[in-house]
Amino acid sequence: MPHRPLQVALVCLSNQNWSMEVHNILSKRGFRVQSFGTGTHVKLPGPAADKPNVYDFRIPYDRTYNDLLRKDKELYTQNVILHMLDRNKRIKSRPERLQNCTDLFDLILTCQERVYDQVVEDLNSREQETCHPVHVINVDIQDKHKEATLGAFRICELCQCIQHTEDMENQINELLQEFEERTSFCSYFLLPDVCFYL
């Protein structure tokens, strides 16, 4: 069993829904966790599919909350965006981009193949500093409130399994295969990619 808690990063496009829901649950279970987005801007649903609300990553969650409250309280209450932002601002002040983070992690989890590719590309493009390995794992989860909550509990279970392995480097593939087999939810794992903070 590792002598310290896993250092876990959770990554989605805008650091709003999935990554923050899992961040919330894992932090309550004692994991050392941070969450990030990989997009160039934060995008939230707007009044129509072609009219999203777009914000800079430096804008705090409470400012976004107040902006949407002013724009259309009924719409953003009904589609759960205000509830999501209220949760987010209780966890941390604002969204963050993984590309701006230099912290080291043992495990980076993503929820979309596109985000997974962005994370792997970013890690492989960094300048040489250390050879600390990091496992990047993707679990496809729909970016909807209910699916994010259900997915967060499964991700928590996965992290607990990984935390209790004797040798993560040599056991992670077997552990993921076993986890897939006993949880129908996790049928969309990509094989983990081992990157290094080079």
pLDDT digits (tens, 9 = 90+) for 24-54: 999 999 899 999 999 999 999 999 999 999 9
Q: How many distinct structural domains can be found in the chain?
A: 2
87/109 same-domain check = no
60/123 same-domain check = no
57/118 same-domain check = no
144/166 same-domain check = yes
109/71 same-domain check = no
Which amino acid belongs to residue 7?
Answer: Q
CB environment 87-126: b (16+ within 10 A), e (fewer): bbbeebebbbbbbeeeeebbbbbbbbeebbbbbbebbeee
Helices then strands, each counted (H, E), the chain = 6, 7
| Per-residue model confidence (pLDDT) at position 182 | 72
Q: Which domain holds residue 15?
A: 7-39+97-197
84/182 same-domain check = no
48/114 same-domain check = no
Residue 41 pairs in a beta bridge with none
185/154 same-domain check = yes
| Per-residue model confidence (pLDDT) at position 188 | 44
Which two tokens mark 162? 């990984």
d(CA 39, CA 11): 10
d(CA 182, CA 121): 31
Domain CATH for 168: 3.40.50.2300
129/46 same-domain check = no
- Assigned domain for 2 exists: no
105/13 same-domain check = yes
136/76 same-domain check = no
Q: Where are the beta strands (DSSP E) in 64-191?
A: 107-110, 132-138
Sign, CA torsion 180/186/192/195 = negative
Low-confidence residues of the chain: pLDDT under 70: 1-3, 128-130, 143, 183-198
| Per-residue model confidence (pLDDT) at position 143 | 66
Sign, CA torsion 177/183/187/189 = negative
Asked if residue 31 lies in contact with residue 159, where contact means CB atoms within 8 angstroms, the answer is: yes
Burial class (CB in 10 A: 0-12, 13-18, 19+), 176: buried
| Per-residue model confidence (pLDDT) at position 192 | 59
- Assigned domain for 191 exists: yes
22/107 same-domain check = yes
| Per-residue model confidence (pLDDT) at position 179 | 79
- Assigned domain for 123 exists: yes
- Assigned domain for 1 exists: no
- Assigned domain for 145 exists: yes
- Assigned domain for 166 exists: yes
Give the residue ranges of DSSP H helices in 1-96: 18-28, 61-78, 81-91
Which two tokens mark 31? 């994991």
